Structure 1
Amino acid sequence: MPYFKYNDKSCYFEEQGEGIPVLFLHGNTASSNMFYDVIETYTKDYKVILIDFLGHGKSDRVEKLNTDLWYDEALQVIAFLEQTKYKKVHLIGSSGGALVAINVALERPDLVDKVIADSFEGEIPIKEFTQNVIADRTVSKQDEGAKEFYFSMHGSDWESIVDNDTMAIYEHAKSIGKFFHKPLSTLHSEILLTGSKEDEFVSLINPDYFSTVYTNLIEKIGHGEMHIFPKGGHPALLSNRDEFVMIAKKFLHR
Structure 2
Amino acid sequence: MPYFTYQNKKIFFEEYGTGIPLLLLHGNSLSSRMFLPVVNDLQKYSKVILIDFLGNGYSDRLSSISDDLWYDEAQQAISLIDYLGYSQVNLLGSSGGALVALNIALERPDLVGKIVADSFEGETPLESFVANIYQDRAISKENLWLRTLYQQNHGDDWENVVDNDTLAIYTHYQNHKTFFHKNLCELNLPVLLTGSKEDEFMSGEFFENVYTKLPIRDKRICIFEHGGHPAMISNKDTFIPLVISFLENIEK
TM-score by length of 2: 0.98
Q: Distance in 2 between matches of 1:211 and 1:25?
A: 22
Gaps of 5+ in 1: none
Q: Distance in 1 between matches of 2:218 and 2:38?
A: 28
Partner of 2:236: 241
Matches within 5 A, 1:89-238: 89-203=89-203, 207-217=204-214, 220-238=215-233
User: Which consecutive segments of 4 or more residues in structure 1 shift more than 6 A?
Assistant: none
Name the aligned partner's letter for residue 95 of structure 1: S
- Conserved in 2, the CA contact under 8 Å of 1:5 and 1:79? no
- Conserved in 2, the CA contact under 8 Å of 1:16 and 1:47? yes
Q: Distance in 1 between matches of 2:46 and 2:217?
A: 28
Partner of 2:5: 5
Q: Distance in 1 between matches of 2:80 and 2:241?
A: 28
Partner of 2:34: 34
Q: Distance in 1 between matches of 2:227 and 2:159?
A: 27
Structural RMSD (CA): 0.6
Per-residue displacement from partner, 1:23-46 (whole Å, max 9, x unpaired)?
000000000000011110011111
- Conserved in 1, the CA contact under 8 Å of 2:28 and 2:97? yes
Q: Distance in 1 between matches of 2:247 and 2:237?
A: 15
Q: Distance in 2 between matches of 1:84 and 1:211?
A: 36
Q: Distance in 1 between matches of 2:127 and 2:202?
A: 11
Q: Distance in 2 between matches of 1:141 and 1:251?
A: 37
Partner of 2:72: 72
Q: Distance in 1 between matches of 2:82 and 2:21?
A: 14
Per-residue displacement from partner, 1:225-248 (whole Å, max 9, x unpaired)?
010000000000100001000100
Partner of 1:59: 59
Q: CA deviation at 1:10?
A: 0.4
TM-score by length of 1: 0.97
Per-residue displacement from partner, 1:91-113 (whole Å, max 9, x unpaired)?
00000000000000000000000
Per-residue displacement from partner, 1:37-65 (whole Å, max 9, x unpaired)?
11100111111100000000000000000
Q: Percent identity?
A: 53
Name the aligned partner's letter for residue 85 of structure 1: G
SS at match of 1:162: helix
Q: Distance in 1 between matches of 2:173 and 2:8?
A: 28
SS at match of 1:202: coil
SS at match of 1:228: strand
Q: Distance in 1 between matches of 2:4 and 2:91?
A: 18
- Conserved in 1, the CA contact under 8 Å of 2:188 and 2:217? no
- Conserved in 1, the CA contact under 8 Å of 2:125 and 2:178? yes
Name the aligned partner's letter for residue 212 of structure 2: T
Q: Distance in 2 between matches of 1:186 and 1:115?
A: 14
